[in-house]
Structure 1
Amino acid sequence: MILNTNLDEAGIQICSRCIYDERVSSISFDDDGVCNYCRQVESLKEQFGTGTALGNEKFSRILDEIRSAGKGKQYDCIIGVSGGTDSSYLVYMAKEWGLRPLAVHYDNTWNSAIATQNIRKVLSAFDVDLHTHVINNKEGDDIFKAFFYAGVPEIEASTDLGYAETMYRAAAKYGVKHVLEGHSFLAEGITPVGKNYFDGEYIRSIHRMYGRVPMQTYPLMTFERFLWRACVARIKMIRPFWYIQYSKEEARAFLEKKCGWEYYGGHHLENRMTAFFHGIYAPQKFGADFRNNSLSALVRKGAMSRKDAWAEYNTPPKIEDELLTYFKKRLGLSDDEYERIMQQPPKSWKDYPTYKKRFERLRPFFALLVKANLVGMSFYLKYCFPAQETK
């Protein structure tokens, strides 16, 4: 829902520090009008020492651990790459830190040409090997179509989880104990779980109900595999940008100059399914616009005013020409069928089997895994506590 672009005339409560508003899942505001998500960012900055001497010291110890664990091996860390800014810059930084990374890519066959070229340019420039898992395109499209039929927001869930599972499988294959991920909570925030949930059981249950093509090449992360990687293989997930100073804008400028990396026009637009989700599906069917994550992050760090961020947030998202036509054609949807599904009442992850209650029951156990870097903090915050979905 697009509101008045004037921040003072929006007609709803908006955080006094960022642009999250009362429609955001599980949001609350303190006496100063600051939302709980801004307070969460403050807490994470303090905990990780982000961009400070403390954060640098903590990350320096992690680097020593990675080098030690990787002695005698071909690679000492895994880095997931998408062709986007963060993962591309992380490849460069890993080489600067003296690491020997293996780049890993999960190809859902919806990559833009720019993203594919960016991966090639970056890895060539910094002399890094690539391990790619390509899902069978008919199988991948069948999973996407199943989620579309299910009427839930997370049409991209299989990509997010497939990426993680592909990185873990590559780590296990090469005996690597550390996976590096290019996420920055300062640059992107942490997406509220209300309309952005995914786990292996969620994917499997929806595919069983609506899918037609057997899952054979999709790297499904089951609960058992998730625990095995953390507790037996003890593969650690590290997010360097949670510790050190990082600027997405400076990273982008560097990559463009250093290796001819090309910007793809907007956050999440490097993949056409992701672009469909953010530009068309989430806003039009669920009234959810995830641009507020990155825009609020820019406001929090003083790179953009609340007024300008709100105005941009309440303008229509950028949509690639013919993207909707491409989506319908790939999934074999007629115009009538597409409209029928889009007009059906929205459903959520709460309407289907998931691991969510299991994650919540095991919260104390996962808290221990977080302290050991065997499970990510964002997973713990989003999945191990009860969440109320904003309708």
Structure 2
Amino acid sequence: MKYCKKCILPDSRPGIELNADGVCSACIGAEEKREAINWEERERSLAALLKEYKAINGQYDCIVPVSGGKDSTWQAYTLKNKYGLKPLTLTYKCKYRTPLGQKNLDNLINIGVDHIDFTVNPDIERKFMLKSLEKNGSVSLVEHMAMWAITLKMAVRLGIELVVWGENPGLEYGGNEKDRGNPYLNHDWIKKYGVTNGTFAADWADDDLTMDELYTFTLPTEAELSEARIKSIFLGWYLRWDPLEVAEFSRTIGFQWAEKPVFGLYPYADLDCDFIVIHHFFKWYKFGITRLWDNLSIEIRNNRLTREEAVNYIKNNPEPIPELQIINLCNFLNITVERFWQIAEAHRNLNIWQQGKNGHKNGQWYLPALVEEFGFWPDTY
């Protein structure tokens, strides 16, 4: 387990690769955004592209998958008000949408867009989510699979040829050079960066979870997408994406921040659903980081923090266990909290964790690489 020399992310995080100088792929991508990309030229190419897809008969110009968060608020507003498009917005309805999440989704809709709130059969979703939690330590796998599939199926069925996603995680959070320069979402991208653990719906089919039950989570084939002439683009490839700038802009048009961060550093992120918090919580067991590490690394890349300041922040700001969100997840999955902690422990990455050494008493788990790199053990979890 080795850490980037510019930010604080380790190479245990998916998508993070260190070059010969010890700099991670996400930091290299951030440098490319500052130095190597002509954003004016990309914005012109976006305007030309969107002009091609602008309908002349009152139909929808594009589909925009939204959550009501800062990014999707920015996406919907930008496409409608800056480029004059008529987007159809679509949301996968999470099972524990927060009151603030609903307010922000209502605000997005009131920008002046049509909207579909898609609810998945809760019995199938529950069964699939428990299966993915037990097997992969992931609750968000199911939500992301549904989001990709529902959006693309709707595009095919309604004949809407353009789908506009937000930022490209392959660029923002770590990806190889080829993937950082890719403006399009396709099956290969979803498998690699779509938070599906490199699987598609068919990989989960068995006697307990049939393909009929997995239909909602099944992507259109590449042939179907090609025949329907569906193009999926990342808006963040054409327009420079910075989470703080996006959040501050969205706030000016009604998006509400939380009084304090729900999890991590930002009071404007992860507001819409309790389950996303559990997704980030499991990173501690699997990758040896928390949401805070991701957020602080973004701040380093945007020159708002130094690496030393980020390390000190972690040292002095322990993160709480998301107990309420864990209880809500257990209630949905019909499991006990004790069972949740058994599952979490089963996904502890023994390649990076050790137990009861170097002064850590009573069998406490710790990350030797973290102690060696930063000289302390955070008082967290």
TM class, shorter-chain normalised?
Answer: 0.7 to 0.9
Give CA deviations for 1:213-269 in whole Å, capped at 9, x if unaligned.
9864862224xx230343211211111222223443233233333225344744334
Give CA deviations for 1:132-183 in whole Å, capped at 9, x if unaligned.
2110222212111111222x13331111121111111221232211111122
Matches within 5 A, 1:292-307: 292-307=293-308
1:60 and 2:57 aligned: no
Q: 1:312 to 1:103 in 2, by over 3 A?
A: farther
Tell me how far 1:114 sits from its aligned partner. Answer: 1.4
Match of 1:256 among 239, 251, 257: 251
1-structure distance, mates of 2:35, 2:156: 33
Contact 2:73 2:255 in 1 (8 A): no
Q: Residue in 2 aligned with 1:167?
A: 151
2-structure distance, mates of 1:313, 1:187: 25
- SS of the residue corresponding to residue 21 of structure 1 reads coil
Q: Residue in 1 aligned with 2:93?
A: 107
- SS of the residue corresponding to residue 16 of structure 1 reads coil
2-structure distance, mates of 1:195, 1:165: 11
Q: 1:132 to 1:229 in 2, by over 3 A?
A: farther
Contact 2:24 2:174 in 1 (8 A): no
Q: 1:15 to 1:293 in 2, by over 3 A?
A: same
1:181 and 2:176 aligned: no
- SS of the residue corresponding to residue 134 of structure 2 reads helix
Q: Residue in 1 aligned with 2:325?
A: 323
Contact 1:106 1:163 in 2 (8 A): yes
- SS of the residue corresponding to residue 95 of structure 2 reads coil
2-structure distance, mates of 1:327, 1:94: 35
Contact 2:285 2:349 in 1 (8 A): no
Tell me how far 1:309 sits from its aligned partner. Answer: 2.7
Q: 1:248 to 1:26 in 2, by over 3 A?
A: closer
Give the partner amino acid of 2:235.
P
1-structure distance, mates of 2:295, 2:175: 10
Contact 1:162 1:218 in 2 (8 A): no
Q: Residue in 1 aligned with 2:309?
A: 308
1:19 and 2:27 aligned: no
Matches within 5 A, 1:369-388: none
For structure 1, the residue ranges without an aligned partner over 5 or more in a row are: 1-11, 349-391
Contact 2:202 2:218 in 1 (8 A): no
1:332 and 2:334 aligned: yes
1:75 and 2:46 aligned: no
2-structure distance, mates of 1:26, 1:34: 13
Give the partner amino acid of 1:310.
V
Q: Residue in 2 aligned with 1:122?
A: 108
Give the partner amino acid of 1:237.
S
- SS of the residue corresponding to residue 221 of structure 2 reads helix
Greater relative CO, 1 or 2 (CA 8 Å, sep 6+): 1
2-structure distance, mates of 1:226, 1:105: 21
- SS of the residue corresponding to residue 91 of structure 2 reads strand
Give CA deviations for 1:68-111 in whole Å, capped at 9, x if unaligned.
xx232421011111021101111111112101011111113232
Q: Residue in 1 aligned with 2:76?
A: 91
- SS of the residue corresponding to residue 225 of structure 2 reads helix
Q: 1:25 to 1:138 in 2, by over 3 A?
A: closer
Give the partner amino acid of 1:296.
S
Q: Residue in 2 aligned with 1:8?
A: none
For structure 2, the residue ranges without an aligned partner over 5 or more in a row are: 177-191, 351-381
Contact 1:106 1:133 in 2 (8 A): yes
2-structure distance, mates of 1:215, 1:188: 35
Tell me how far 1:62 sits from its aligned partner. Answer: 1.5
Contact 2:137 2:347 in 1 (8 A): no
2-structure distance, mates of 1:86, 1:127: 17
Instruction: Report percent identity of matched pairs.
Output: 20
2-structure distance, mates of 1:46, 1:185: 19
Contact 1:106 1:162 in 2 (8 A): yes
Please provide the CA RMSD for this pair.
Answer: 3.3
Give the partner amino acid of 1:273.
F
Contact 1:185 1:242 in 2 (8 A): no
Give CA deviations for 1:170-200 in whole Å, capped at 9, x if unaligned.
2123221111112255994247969954455
**Between 227-236 and 263-272, the greater mean CA deviation after superposition:** 263-272
1-structure distance, mates of 2:86, 2:193: 38
Q: Residue in 1 aligned with 2:138?
A: 154
- SS of the residue corresponding to residue 208 of structure 1 reads coil
- SS of the residue corresponding to residue 259 of structure 1 reads coil
- SS of the residue corresponding to residue 157 of structure 2 reads helix
2-structure distance, mates of 1:345, 1:297: 26
2-structure distance, mates of 1:180, 1:299: 28
TM-score, structure 1 as length reference: 0.72
| Corresponding pairs, count | 326
Q: Whose helix fraction is larger, Structure 1's or Structure 2's?
A: 1
Give the partner amino acid of 1:220.
F
